[in-house]
Structure 1
Amino acid sequence: MRRNRTAGILLALGALFGGGLAAAAPAHSAPTPTADGASAALRTVSPAEQRTARTFWTPERMRGAAPLDLRLTPKAAAAPKTPAPDGKAATVVPGAAPTAFPEGGAPWTGGGAVVSTSGRVFFTFDGRTASCSGNAVTSANASTVITAGHCVKYQGSWHTNWVFVPAYDDGKAPYGQWTATRTLTTPQWEASEDINHDVGAAVVAPLNGRTLTSVVGAQGLQFNGGYNKQMYAFGFPAASPYDGSALIHCSGNSSKDFLFSQDHSLACDMTGGSSGGPWFTGFDEATGTGLQVSVNSFGYTFLPNRMFGPYFGDVAKALYDRAQAA
């Protein structure tokens, strides 16, 4: 298993892991991760691990899960390669235009589909409970969640006890906990944790005989849609001043990162735990629907209140195609 990673990425977990977290379940032998050609790196979750994950996440453990957070220093920021964001534009299910912004970070009170498609992601990382965010998307298997790459694999290790909790509400799971059968990330993130390709996905098992999106709905996606769009970003930040109990959103005119990556950039004060939450263009506040074009990924240590998200180009499209076919 490769252990190369983007130099200098800071994981804000040391203090958070210092106390108050529930111990992880006993270790199980992990399935061997495999790279599926050039489209995605994939890990299959064994039936035994799925059974463990289904009972592992109590309300107390969910509340106590530490937020996973990426912060780049100036030295680390200079390291990522810069891919050319080109390719043929592709859209999966159209959406409508947004109606109001900007917002730098506030609870989402608008209702609509985004309330049920967005959720918290919980997993075990380095023997401790941790959290990110994710979103249910339109897919052939009706079971695909899009998140950040570091929310499925980080520092050379795939996360375990991985579940998606749509519409999470302060320890409550109104639509249940959906256990991953497979987790995936881009080859670039798997090989060297290239921040330009910090995209992940999970395929979740049916719950009570139904697939994920038949229960919570699904958002559309857009690939190779360009930069400088009006965007809405959502997530469940769990580091101060937030506590992970509610869905938070930011909105405004995005731009292309003018510093060290090829990512989208948006004024936003969401903190750790929001990683993997969706970015939408063409978002309609009345229906809570839009086209997902990115995920919350990282921030620079020297540039507060600014969120960055990877460009969904051909690499992200290949990952999505592999996930929806799994």
Structure 2
Amino acid sequence: MLPRPARRTRTRRASRILLALAAMAALTSVDVPDAAAGPPFGVTAQALPDASADRVGALFSGGGLDGGHFCTAAVVHSDDRDVIATAAHCLGDPDTTVFAPGYRDGEAPYGVWKVTGVHVAPGWTDGEDPDDDIAFATVAPVDEGRSGAVEDLVGGFPVAAEQPADATVTVIGYPRTDETPLRCANTTSLFSDTQRRIECPDLSGGTSGSPWLVHGALAGVLGGHEGGGAVPEVSYSAVMGDQAVELYREAADEG
């Protein structure tokens, strides 16, 4: 393999520096809740209502809450305040998928939101590459009488790429069989250069797309290797790099 041209390497390094600076700016300019508050490391418990949990919601099929929730998503910060993040494999049928932030016990306190646009990487579209199992989508209220954007109601997590291998991550998500979200935090490790791993029990089917939060900022979503994990005790996320940040920017610009 021929060595990468030095100019491209310098350009990529400069791009990563700019991404890091942008992430730092986001963290200082956006209200960041304490996503680490909760049970001890490695223990999964019900997520109590708070600023972080309210930004996380369940994805439902069939265009309404009667269809049953099958994945999780979270509101992320954008200028038009209408962007959510989830796993790419959760948005196979966006026309009938709706998002209910803060969903609990059959109630959607912040309304129900339909998907209006989806942004996934070509690697996922062409071959469902697990390294590209992250998506950003724009949403609008199902109720045409509702004004404003989803972020106006619950706020949004900033997006922060290029996290260290041993970052401490908080995961908040909805198992398919539960009507309230679960929360678990633990130190992560790299399963590979492109996949992050966390040990948290009971993160079963339905938690795909759950935000992985580092200091209150989105650093990944549950998905990737084995669709996010073959057993509930171990979960994965594709490492969020330049491609994912570009998708985020595209979604933010769409609004």
TM-score, normalised to structure 2's length?
A: 0.79
Instruction: Name the amino acid aligned to 2:248.
Output: Y
**2: CA distance, partners of 1:215 / 1:299:** 29
Q: How far does residue 124 in structure 1 lie from its aligned partner after superposition?
A: 4.7
Task: Tell me which residue corresponds to 2:209.
Answer: 276
In structure 2, what is the equivalent of residue 212 of structure 1? 150
Identity %: 26
**Cα drift, residue 226 of structure 1:** 2.9
- 1:87 lines up with 2:34 in the alignment: no
Q: What is residue 186 of structure 2 aligned with on the other side?
A: 252
Tell me the distance in 1 between the aligned counterparts of 2:150 and 2:156.
Answer: 9
- Say what the alpha-carbon RMSD is for the aligned residues: 2.3
Higher strand share: 1
* Counterpart code for 1:222: A
- Work out whether residues 152 and 185 of structure 1, in 8 Å CA contact, stay in contact via their aligned partners in 2: no
Letter in 2 for 1:296: L
1:264 aligns with 2:203: no
4+ runs of 1 displaced by more than 2 Å?
86-90, 92-101, 298-301
Equivalent residue for 1:135? 74
**Greater helix content:** 2
Check conservation: 1:250, 1:267, Cα contact below 8 A. Answer: no
Question: Deviation of residue 115 (structure 1)?
Answer: 2.0
Inter-CA distance 277–323: structure 2 relative to 1 (3 Å threshold): same
**Structure 2 counterpart of 1:181:** 116
- Distance in 2, Cα, partners of 1:304 & 1:215: 31
Query: SS at the partner of 1:321?
Result: helix
Please say if residues 148 and 275 of structure 1, whose CA atoms lie closer than 8 Å, have aligned partners that are also in contact.
yes
Aligned to 2:83: 144
- Displacement of 1:322 after TM fit? 0.4
In the alignment, is the contact (CA less than 8 A) between 2:58 and 2:69 conserved in 1?
A: no
Per-residue displacement from partner, 1:228-283 (whole Å, max 9, x unpaired)? 10110110011xxxx2301101111110015xx7211100220110111101111x
TM-score by length of 1: 0.62
2:170 alignment partner, one of 219, 232, 247? 232
Offset of 1:170 from its aligned partner? 2.1
The verdict on how the C-alpha distance between 1:142 and 1:273 changes in structure 2, with shifts beyond 3 A counting, is same
Q: 2:130 aligns to what?
A: 195
Distance (whole Å) between structure 2 residues aligned to residue 99 and residue 166 of structure 1 = 19
**Pair 93,137 (structure 1): closer, same or farther in 2 beyond 3 Å:** same
Shift of 1:161: 1.0
1:167 correspondence with 2:102: yes
Distance 1:105 1:99, change over 3 A: closer
The residue aligned with 1:22 is none
In structure 2, list runs of 5 or more residues that go unmatched: 1-14
